[in-house]
Structure 1
Amino acid sequence: MVEAVIFDIGNVLIEWRPERHYDRLMPPAERAAMFAEIDLHSMNEVIDRGGPFLKTVRDWADRYPRWRDPILRWHEDWIHMASPEIPQSVRLLRALRAKGVPVFALTNFGIETFRLAQEAYPFLTEFDRAYVSGHMGVTKPDPRIYDLVEADCGLTGARLLFADDRADNIAAAAARGWKVHTFDLDPAKGAREWAARLVAEGLLDADEAR
């Protein structure tokens, strides 16, 4: 029986689409060339492991002077890349908590970026427990982060239900025996399917999951 529900945040509760934001700033072909030359998601991984936000972005901007200004926008425009919220997912989080179901976050997020996100999206302060990679010093799908979650909350295996948009993160959780749900990248479809899963698990009824 599920005793706690774990939400990823990016593309589960809020959309995370850096490429989409850059396509608003520069011609898409130019954006594609920049992302082909520079693995900006690896830069973000440094931040998600606890690296200093501004310093990390500046270091990468210095490393690639051709793209210096757009790289710096990663820091300046960060909240625009992490938007908008996915309303039905937020309602599901609150419906679970209203039913007394513990709700956790397990998310790859930097220390400073998570604070920015909480200021922009107050529902990110509502988890019973928040497992944030920047504070933990390790990111999904490294097995150590799942170890740390289990050790802290005292729950293992099928007592946990975890939703994430990335197949590698889901696979790592499933390997530990957690119940898992892959959240579709279409946010409306993803939220509908997640609601249906919560109903199927007996955690919410159909009205509560609307």
Structure 2
Amino acid sequence: MTAPIDHIVFDIGKVLIHWDPTIPYQRIIPDADERRWFFENVCTHDWNMEQDRGREWPEAEAELIEKFPDHADNIRAFRQNWHEMVVPAYLDSVAVMESLIEQGRDVTMLTNFAADTFRHAREMYPFLNKPRGVTVSGEVRLIKPDIEIYQRHTQEFGLDPAKTLFIDDTAINVEGAKKAGWQAVQFTGIDTLRADLQRYGFSV
């Protein structure tokens, strides 16, 4: 630790709320092998990341339906059933974030998230409105771990990078924050999060 922390930045998916796109498809495509093939070849991780980068859903769906017309309904089902993919909230992590806010700490969020689904998430989970602000990849058309999104967040919210602590579940996003001059820890569970924050001098 090279500087005291003045700013705490939370990732959202798998830190504050769950994220598993297979959840509704256990109902939609009951056969496990077919479901695995669908996610490996049709609605892939890379395809979904482009929505996080700012691509609109109609364009994303049209691209896949052209390639896989027999799977059109299952492709459209991704956005239609998205709300099932982000359940539940991680209430222990949320309580930590809310405690920091109540203590008067400067808390913001930085997330890879499609713009429209993030608006939906805010309706589902009002605690996402409690931090001072948020940078959403789909809105700014930048994505973690690109250094530009960390720099934009710093500029937007007036953060001192050396005095900023980032909490993210993904190692490459943690490394991206460090390259931007932030301090950062990887979220692996609530006990580790509390221990990390205590190391930085926070009581949670």
Q: Same fold (TM over 0.5)?
A: yes
Moved more, 110-119 or 46-55: 46-55
Offset from partner CA, 1:91-117 (integer Å, 9 cap, x none): 011100001101111001111111000
> Which residue of structure 1 aligns with residue 10 of structure 2?
7
> Which residue of structure 1 aligns with residue 33 of structure 2?
29
Q: How does 1:95-106 map to 2 (within 5 A)?
A: 95-106=99-110
What are the ranges of 5 or more consecutive residues in structure 2 without an aligned counterpart? none
Out of 68, 72, 80, the residue aligned to residue 76 of structure 1 is 80
Moved more, 19-28 or 192-201: 19-28
> Which residue of structure 2 aligns with residue 158 of structure 1?
162
| 1:18 is the counterpart of 2:21 | yes
Moved more, 175-184 or 75-84: 175-184
Q: How does 1:1-210 map to 2 (within 5 A)?
A: 1-26=4-29, 27-38=31-42, 40-184=44-188, 190-204=189-203, 209=204
| Structure 1 residue 22: Cα displacement | 2.1
Distance 1:132 1:23 in 2: 28
Please, what is the CA RMSD of the aligned residues?
1.6
Moved more, 117-126 or 190-199: 190-199
What are the ranges of 5 or more consecutive residues in structure 1 without an aligned counterpart? 185-189
Using a 3 Å threshold, how does the CA distance of structure 1 residues 169 and 79 change in structure 2: closer, same or farther? same
| Structure 1 residue 121: Cα displacement | 0.5
TM, length-normalised to structure 2: 0.91
What secondary structure sits across from 2:181 in the alignment? coil
What secondary structure sits across from 2:108 in the alignment? strand
Aligned-residue sequence identity (percent) comes to 34
